[in-house]
Structure 1
Amino acid sequence: MEQNAQRELLAANPEWSVRELMARLAEALASQGPALSLGQSATRIVDGDISLVVATTGSSGVAKEVGLSAAALVSSAQGSNKFLAASPGDTWSLLLPATHIAGINVLIRCLELGTEPVDLRKQQGPYPKVDFTAIVPTHLFRALKGDSNLLKHLVDAKAVLVGGAALSDELRKEATAAGINIVTTYGMTETCGGCIYNGQALAGVEVKIVEGNRIAIKGSVLATSYIGAESLWKQEMHDGWFFTSDFGKLENGRLIVEGRVDDVLICGGVNISISAVERFLQNRFPALTLAAFGVKNSEWGDALHLAFAGDTPADQKLMTEFLVEEFGPEAKPRGFLTLAELPLIGIGKVDRKKLAELHQEGTH
């Protein structure tokens, strides 16, 4: 297919079986059928080198449609399988929604291995054994806190990819002690999902730290563009490097992700990282499901708030003392929100904008 040719864009039907979705995906990757979009898209025609369009919403709430080429998607799958030493015939289980790049990646890895994923998204009872799987930290938490079927499934796998959100040190230690071979992943839709495993770049991927400690990624897994917002994509690209919205550092050649560029609250003139607050609290209160978020405040500019989910009681007084001691008086939470569950964007990412809205609703 010519580089400047165009092709139809077809919305993936959520009613498709995994087998049919894989068949459609294989045709899209081989340019033998329409490109696929995950979710509804206003676009009907895309450039010929686009095989998949994935809608993504960052924590800032800005929606984008990411156009991915077959070359990038296959490179991501091959890099993942190579890192894990996966061989033809090895199996993956599907525990993630096929409406997100992380779920689609499982399917493409299976296409590369000549197998079909074991669909466990609605599994009840014992789980069959597979070689590999991919999950978010919430799965890990549930497995370690009572879901014995899922726990056995994860323990029996050769490796378990964990991504989508930050994994607390406590949860990782508990998983390792339980016998789960954890491989943490970092990436985003713009990099065909996870492209850094255990701090190391996959084959064909480079990572560096640029001004402001921002993480930049280069390589064969990068998206082609934002559909309908090509100028925005060009703003994020610098000499072949994609500047992410995360900041971090490199230590002994390994990437350590420290938080999002846009997750900093300015409380009383002091910068406070929401990610740093969450990591700090999660390591001290590992049994809690929590999230930090900001609310505009006439006195403080941004005021730190905390949200809790589930039945485990939160010691708000002790938390406040810890935060003030660690981050200073500006980090004193100005409000607490208790919910049945945290609102999410995508898989595993907390919707902080929604938390702020829920707080506002509760104060009126």
Structure 2
Amino acid sequence: MRLERLESDDPRDLLRALRGAVLGSGPAIAVGSAGELPTQVPPGTAVVLTTSGSTGVPKSVALSRSALTASAMATAARIGEGQWLLPLSGGYIAGVQVMVRALVSGREPAIVAGKFTAEAFTHAASGMRSFAEGMPVATYTSLVPAQLQTLVDAGEQDPRVARALASFHTILVGGQRLADPLRERAIALGAHPVRTYGSTETSGGCVYDGVPLDGTTVRLVDGELWINGPSLADGYLGDPARTADTFVTDAEGLRWYRTGDAGSLEGRVVSVTGRIDNVIISGGVNVSLDRVEAVVQQLIDDAVVVGVPHERWGETPVIVTAVGGDLEAARAAVEREIGKPARPDRILRVAELPRLASGKPDRRAIRALAAG
């Protein structure tokens, strides 16, 4: 099958290309910051999405038509069908999947054009009024926490933004952890946020509010979350070694994706505690920065915790935020929840948190700021 690179940043061009790649006989498309890629890919491939994430090296994930549509149909089975609003970059799986869900449902998505703002979102949401058989069609959207933060901050001051948030049947929130205080503020405005967990390798979110979508199975292997299901990627294009290490087949012939995330399972309910490799050694003690960040975010909105060198302790957590906060309160909360070695050393206040195009924090850039 032929692979064509999508050069345009216009989400409408991506939608047209996806229509052929996913629903038709069109060529597969390469999306994202791709380098050198082959011109031919295995039959059934729809999208090759190249991403380096916030900490890793570039990887080109090959996603089949069947995987993308299985994810879209499982989402519809869980939350319902309707019209989707795209406020995300099409260069990441969350944006691609919003469009695939729209294509599978047979309804054109609404699009937030240009820079994401509360005003642009509200304007786009206000135009999503359609009916089927005399009944209003439910509306859905997908956000990253930073976008939800922008909307909640504005909605608490502007009733129009609050009404726009509340108008959606479901708002999927993923890309990074959604802090409880922000979730509760959104709910207080009438919004219906759902935490999602997944990755490009799972065609986007495959666990909603801790419960896997139909067809998806999650298990724990040596503290690492493994995922099986029809939405798994075929692997990494041109990197068979990484593919073999990340996608493994068990004795029963089931194929699993090793997420690299630590977590726990209680029945079918999945809890994610953070990246296995996002750990520093502070004073000889292993400290999960994800756990520290989860505690800090209960007190400081939109805070990121990174590890930086420390003359005495080797490494220590540092809080980076654009809003400031109470360091002593944060240290006390972290000590109470995790222990003394995990206490943040300081708060670094910046004018604006560096972010990737997906809206996720750019942790490499943030770590460089903190270390500098």
TM-score, normalised to structure 2, is 0.87
In the TM superposition, residue 168 of structure 1 has moved relative to its aligned partner by 0.7
* Residue 194 (structure 1) aligned to one of 171, 195, 205: 205
Letter in 2 for 1:55: T
Answer yes or no: is 1:42 the counterpart of 2:36. Answer: yes
Size of the aligned set, in residue pairs, is: 346
* Residue 63 (structure 2) aligned to one of 24, 47, 68: 68
In the TM superposition, residue 250 of structure 1 has moved relative to its aligned partner by 1.5
Answer yes or no: is 1:133 the counterpart of 2:144. Answer: no
> 1:280 aligns to what?
295
Q: Secondary structure at the match of 1:283?
A: coil
> 1:14 aligns to what?
8
1:1-364 to 2 correspondences below 5 Å = 7-18=1-12, 20-30=13-23, 32-39=25-32, 40-45=34-39, 46-86=41-81, 90-122=82-114, 123=120, 126=123, 127-128=125-126, 129=128, 131-147=139-155, 148=158, 149-211=160-222, 213-239=223-249, 240-285=255-300, 288-309=301-322, 312-361=323-372
Q: Secondary structure at the match of 1:10?
A: strand
Q: Counterparts of 1:125 and 1:237 in 2: how far apart (Å)?
A: 41
In the TM superposition, residue 197 of structure 1 has moved relative to its aligned partner by 1.1
Gaps of 5+ in 2: 115-119, 129-137, 250-254
In the TM superposition, residue 153 of structure 1 has moved relative to its aligned partner by 2.0
Letter in 2 for 1:343: P
Does the Cα contact within 8 Å between 1:60 and 1:262 map onto a contact in 2?
Answer: no
Does the Cα contact within 8 Å between 2:61 and 2:236 map onto a contact in 1?
Answer: yes
Q: Counterparts of 1:74 and 1:332 in 2: how far apart (Å)?
A: 44
Does the Cα contact within 8 Å between 1:10 and 1:44 map onto a contact in 2?
Answer: no
Q: Counterparts of 1:67 and 1:54 in 2: how far apart (Å)?
A: 7
In the TM superposition, residue 63 of structure 1 has moved relative to its aligned partner by 1.6
Letter in 2 for 1:165: Q
Does the Cα contact within 8 Å between 1:165 and 1:348 map onto a contact in 2?
Answer: no
Gaps of 5+ in 1: 1-6
Q: Counterparts of 2:11 and 2:232 in 1: how far apart (Å)?
A: 28
Q: Secondary structure at the match of 1:111?
A: helix
Letter in 1 for 2:162: L
CA gap 1:95/1:9 in 2 versus in 1, 3 angstroms: same
Q: Which moved more, 1:159-168 or 1:200-209?
A: 200-209
Letter in 1 for 2:83: T
Letter in 2 for 1:291: V
Spell out, residue by residue over 1:135-165, the C-alpha distance to the aligned partner (whole angstroms, 9 max, x if none): 1111221121114444322201111111111
Does the Cα contact within 8 Å between 2:306 and 2:366 map onto a contact in 1?
Answer: yes
TM-score, normalised to structure 1, is 0.89
Letter in 2 for 1:154: L
Letter in 2 for 1:320: R
In the TM superposition, residue 263 of structure 1 has moved relative to its aligned partner by 1.3
Letter in 2 for 1:156: S
Spell out, residue by residue over 1:260-319, the C-alpha distance to the aligned partner (whole angstroms, 9 max, x if none): 11111211111211111111111133xx3211001133532322111111xx33222333
Does the Cα contact within 8 Å between 2:162 and 2:190 map onto a contact in 1?
Answer: no
Q: Which moved more, 1:140-149 or 1:75-84?
A: 140-149
Letter in 1 for 2:264: K
Q: Counterparts of 1:205 and 1:131 in 2: how far apart (Å)?
A: 25
Q: Counterparts of 2:184 and 2:122 in 1: how far apart (Å)?
A: 26
CA gap 1:292/1:91 in 2 versus in 1, 3 angstroms: same
Does the Cα contact within 8 Å between 1:61 and 1:353 map onto a contact in 2?
Answer: no
Q: Secondary structure at the match of 2:107?
A: coil
Q: Counterparts of 1:223 and 1:38 in 2: how far apart (Å)?
A: 15
CA gap 1:232/1:17 in 2 versus in 1, 3 angstroms: closer
Identity of aligned residues (%): 33
In the TM superposition, residue 236 of structure 1 has moved relative to its aligned partner by 1.3
Q: Secondary structure at the match of 1:284?
A: coil
Q: Secondary structure at the match of 1:350?
A: coil
